[in-house]
C-alpha cells in the first residue's frame, strides 16, 4: 500500500509539473498534428490504399510524438540537481521508475486520444466501430512505448547527445511491439474484429509489455545509480 | 557460397550476442572490467559479422533473383539486429565516465538479447505472406566463420585489455 502511494506521489508530481508548464505536451501535440497533415502529401487521402497503411502511419506519429514527451521525463529533473534528490529520496528505485512511467503514459495517451479523431476525420478511417478493442491496443502499445522510453530516458539523461541517443536506442527495441500495434490497428480501423490468425500479434504485444516491464524493474537500480 | 556464408555469419553473430549479454550480466554482478571488455569485443565482432552477412545475403539475392533486397525475412531480421546493436557502440562513445559507461552498455546489451527472439518472430510473421522460408539450418560454412569470429574476438579482447592497462599506467605516471 505504501509502495502504491509512493508511485502515485511521483506520478502526480510529474503530471502537475507538466500541466502547469505544458512544455512537453504542447510540443508533442503540435508535432503529432503536423505529421498527420504531412502524410496527406505523401498519399492520396481519398484512395483505398490509405486504409491499408493507416495503422502504420498512426503508430509512427505516436512513436515520434511520444519520444518528445519521454525525452523530458528524466531531463526535467536535471536543473537544480532534482534528479540527485529523487534518487536520494527514501523510496525504492522501482517506485520512482513506475511513477515516471505512469505520468508519461497518461501524457502520451492524451496526445494519442486527441490525434485519433483528427486522423479519423482527415483520412476517413472507421476508428469508432471497434473502439473498445482499438483502445486496448492503444493502451498496450503505449505502455510498451512508455516503459522502454522511461528506462532509456533514465539511462541517457546524463549524456551530451541525449536527444539523439534516445530515439536511436528505443526504436529498434520497440520494433516488435510497434509491428504488432501497427498490424492490429490497421485491421481494427477497417471496422472488422481481429481475425483468428492475427490474435498472435495481440499475444506478442502483451508478452512484450510483461517481459520488458519485468526486465526494466530488475535493472532500474543499476540504471539510476550506475 | 554466399547463402551459406550469410547463414554462418548470422549464427556466429547470435553466439556473439549471447556471449555479450552473459558478460554484461557478469559485469553488473562482479563489477570486473574484464567482462566489460569481453562484452565490447563480442558486440563489435557480432556487428562486423552481421554487416558481412547482410552484404553476402543481398549479393546472393542479386545473383539468384536479380534483386538486391527482396524483404526476405532472415535478411530483414539480420538488418534489424544490426540496428539493435549499433547504438550499443554509439552509447559507449557518448558516456565519459568508465563505470557509468560499462553499466549503461551492459543494460543495453541485456535489453537487446531479450529482444532478438521477438524480432525474429515478428519479422517472420510480418513477411510470411511473401517469403515462407524460415530455416534454422546452418551449413558447413559455420565452422570457418565461427573460428574466424572467435579468433578475431579473442584478438580484440586482448587489444582492449592492453589498451586499458596502458591508459591506467599513463594516468598513474601523470599523477606522479
For residue range A177-189, list pLDDT tens digits in order.
999 999 999 989 8
Q: Tell me the average pLDDT of chain A.
A: 90
- The string of DSSP letters for A87-127 reads HHSSS-HHHHHHHHHHHHHHHHHHHHHHHHHHHHHHH----
Evaluate if residue B133 carries a pLDDT over 60: no
d(CA A103, CA A36): 24
Which of chain A's residues have a Cβ under 8 Å away from the Cβ of B104? Answer: 155, 223, 226
Task: Out of A201, A215, A226, name the one closest to residue B100 (CB).
Answer: A226
Task: Out of A168, A201, A212, name the one closest to residue B87 (CB).
Answer: A168
d(CA A127, CA A134): 8
**What pLDDT score does A166 carry?**
92
Which of chain B's residues have a Cβ under 8 Å away from the Cβ of A159? Answer: 91, 94-95
Tell me what the mean pLDDT of segment A41-48 comes to: 75
- The string of DSSP letters for A5-57 reads HHHHHHHHHHHHHHHHH-HHHHHHHHHHHHHHHHHHHHS-TTSTHHHHHHHHH
Residue B66 burial class via C-beta count within 10 angstroms: exposed 0-12, middle 13-18, buried 19 and up: exposed
ipTM of the complex: 0.90
DSSP state of B97: S
**What pLDDT score does B131 carry?**
52
Name the closest residue on chain A to residue B100, using Cα atoms. Answer: A226
Residue with cell 514527451: A69
What grid cell was written down for A45?
Answer: 487521402
Q: Per the CB < 8 Å rule, is B110 touching A215?
A: yes
DSSP state of A189: T
Q: Please, are residues B78 and B53 in contact by the beta-carbon 8 Å criterion?
A: yes
Q: Per the CB < 8 Å rule, is A168 touching B80?
A: no
Q: Per the CB < 8 Å rule, is B121 touching A222?
A: no
Q: Per the CB < 8 Å rule, is B110 touching A161?
A: no
**What pLDDT score does A136 carry?**
94
Query: What are the boundaries of each domain within chain B?
Result: 2-175
What grid cell was written down for B22?
Answer: 552473459
Residue with cell 513477411: B127
d(CA A84, CA B122): 39
**What pLDDT score does B137 carry?**
64
Start-to-end C-alpha separation, chain A: 28
Report residue A138 CA to chain centroid gap: 9
Segments forming the whole domain that contains residue A125: 2-225
Q: What percent of chain B has pLDDT above 70? A: 94
Overall domain count for chain A: 1
Q: Please, are residues A66 and A143 in contact by the beta-carbon 8 Å criterion?
A: no
Q: Please, are residues A141 and A181 in contact by the beta-carbon 8 Å criterion?
A: yes
If DSSP codes are grouped into helix, strand and coil, which group holds residue A226?
Answer: coil
Residue with cell 532478438: B116
Q: pTM for this structure?
A: 0.90
Evaluate if residue A161 carries a pLDDT over 90: no
Q: Which residue numbers of A have CB closer than 8 Å to B's CBs?
A: 148, 155-156, 158-161, 165, 168-169, 172-173, 175-176, 179-180, 183, 200-201, 204, 207-208, 211-212, 215, 219, 222-223, 226
Question: Where does chain B have alpha helices with state H?
Answer: 2-30, 33-65, 73-94, 98-127, 142-175
Task: Out of A158, A169, A226, name the one closest to residue B99 (CB).
Answer: A226
Query: Of A148-162, A207-221, B66-80, which has the strongest mean pLDDT?
Result: A207-221
Count of pairs with CB atoms under 8 A, one residue in A, one in B = 76
Which of chain B's residues have a Cβ under 8 Å away from the Cβ of A179? Answer: 122-123, 126
Confidence of residue B37 (pLDDT cuts 50, 70, 90): very high
Name the closest residue on chain B to residue A213, using Cα atoms. Answer: B111
- Summarised one tens digit per residue, pLDDT across range A64-119 is 999 999 988 888 888 888 888 988 889 999 999 999 999 999 999 999 999 999 88
- Summarised one tens digit per residue, pLDDT across range B70-110 is 888 888 999 999 999 999 999 999 998 889 999 999 999 99
DSSP state of B58: H
Evaluate if residue B55 carries a pLDDT over 90: yes
Q: Please, are residues A186 and A56 in contact by the beta-carbon 8 Å criterion?
A: yes
Amino acid at each position: 500500500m505504501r509502495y502504491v502511494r509512493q508511485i502515485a506521489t511521483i506520478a502526480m508530481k510529474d503530471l502537475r509539473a507538466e500541466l502547469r508548464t505544458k512544455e512537453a505536451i504542447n510540443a508533442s501535440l503540435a508535432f503529432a498534428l503536423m505529421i498527420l497533415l504531412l502524410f496527406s502529401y505523401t498519399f492520396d487521402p481519398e484512395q483505398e490504399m490509405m486504409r491499408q497503411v493507416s495503422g502504420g502511419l498512426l503508430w509512427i506519429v505516436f512513436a515520434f510524438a511520444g519520444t518528445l514527451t519521454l525525452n523530458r521525463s528524466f531531463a526535467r529533473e536535471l536543473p537544480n540537481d532534482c534528479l540527485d534528490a529523487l534518487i536520494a529520496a527514501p523510496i525504492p528505485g522501482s517506485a520512482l521508475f513506475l511513477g515516471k512511467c505512469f505520468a508519461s503514459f497518461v501524457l502520451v495517451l492524451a496526445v494519442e486520444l486527441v490525434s485519433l479523431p483528427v486522423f479519423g476525420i482527415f483520412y476517413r478511417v472507421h476508428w469508432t466501430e471497434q473502439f473498445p478493442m482499438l483502445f486496448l491496443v492503444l493502451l498496450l502499445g503505449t505502455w510498451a512505448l512508455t516503459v522502454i522510453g522511461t528506462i532509456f530516458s533514465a539511462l541517457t539523461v546524463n549524456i551530451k547527445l541525449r536527444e539523439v541517443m534516445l530515439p536511436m536506442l528505443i526504436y529498434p527495441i520497440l520494433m516488435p511491439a510497434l509491428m504488432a500495434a501497427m498490424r492490429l490497428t490497421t485491421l481494427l480501423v477497417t471496422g472488422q474484429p481481429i481475425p483468428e490468425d492475427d490474435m498472435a500479434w495481440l499475444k506478442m504485444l502483451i508478452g512484450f509489455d510483461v517481459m520488458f516491464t519485468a526486465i526494466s524493474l530488475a535493472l532500474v537500480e543499476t540504471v539510476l545509480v550506475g | 557460397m554466399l547463402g551459406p556464408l550469410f547463414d554462418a555469419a548470422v549464427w556466429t553473430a547470435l553466439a556473439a550476442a549471447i556471449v555479450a549479454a552473459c558478460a554484461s550480466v557478469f559485469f553488473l554482478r562482479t563489477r570486473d572490467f574484464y567482462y566489460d571488455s569481453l562484452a565490447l569485443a563480442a558486440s563489435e565482432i557480432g556487428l562486423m559479422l552481421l554487416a558481412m552477412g547482410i552484404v553476402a545475403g543481398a549479393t546472393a539475392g542479386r545473383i539468384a533473383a536479380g534483386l538486391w533486397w527482396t524483404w526476405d525475412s532472415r535478411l530483414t531480421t539480420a538488418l534489424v539486429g544490426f540496428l539493435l546493436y549499433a547504438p550499443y557502440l554509439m552509447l559507449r562513445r557518448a558516456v565519459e565516465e568508465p563505470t557509468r559507461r560499462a553499466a549503461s552498455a551492459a543494460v543495453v546489451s541485456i535489453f537487446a538479447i531479450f529482444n532478438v527472439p521477438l524480432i525474429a518472430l515478428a519479422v517472420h510473421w510480418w513477411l510470411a505472406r511473401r517469403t515462407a522460408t524460415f530455416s534454422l539450418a546452418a551449413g558447413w560454412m559455420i565452422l570457418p566463420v565461427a573460428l574466424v569470429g572467435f579468433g578475431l574476438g579473442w584478438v580484440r579482447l586482448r587489444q582492449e585489455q592492453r589498451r586499458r592497462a596502458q591508459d591506467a599506467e599513463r594516468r598513474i605516471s601523470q599523477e606522479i
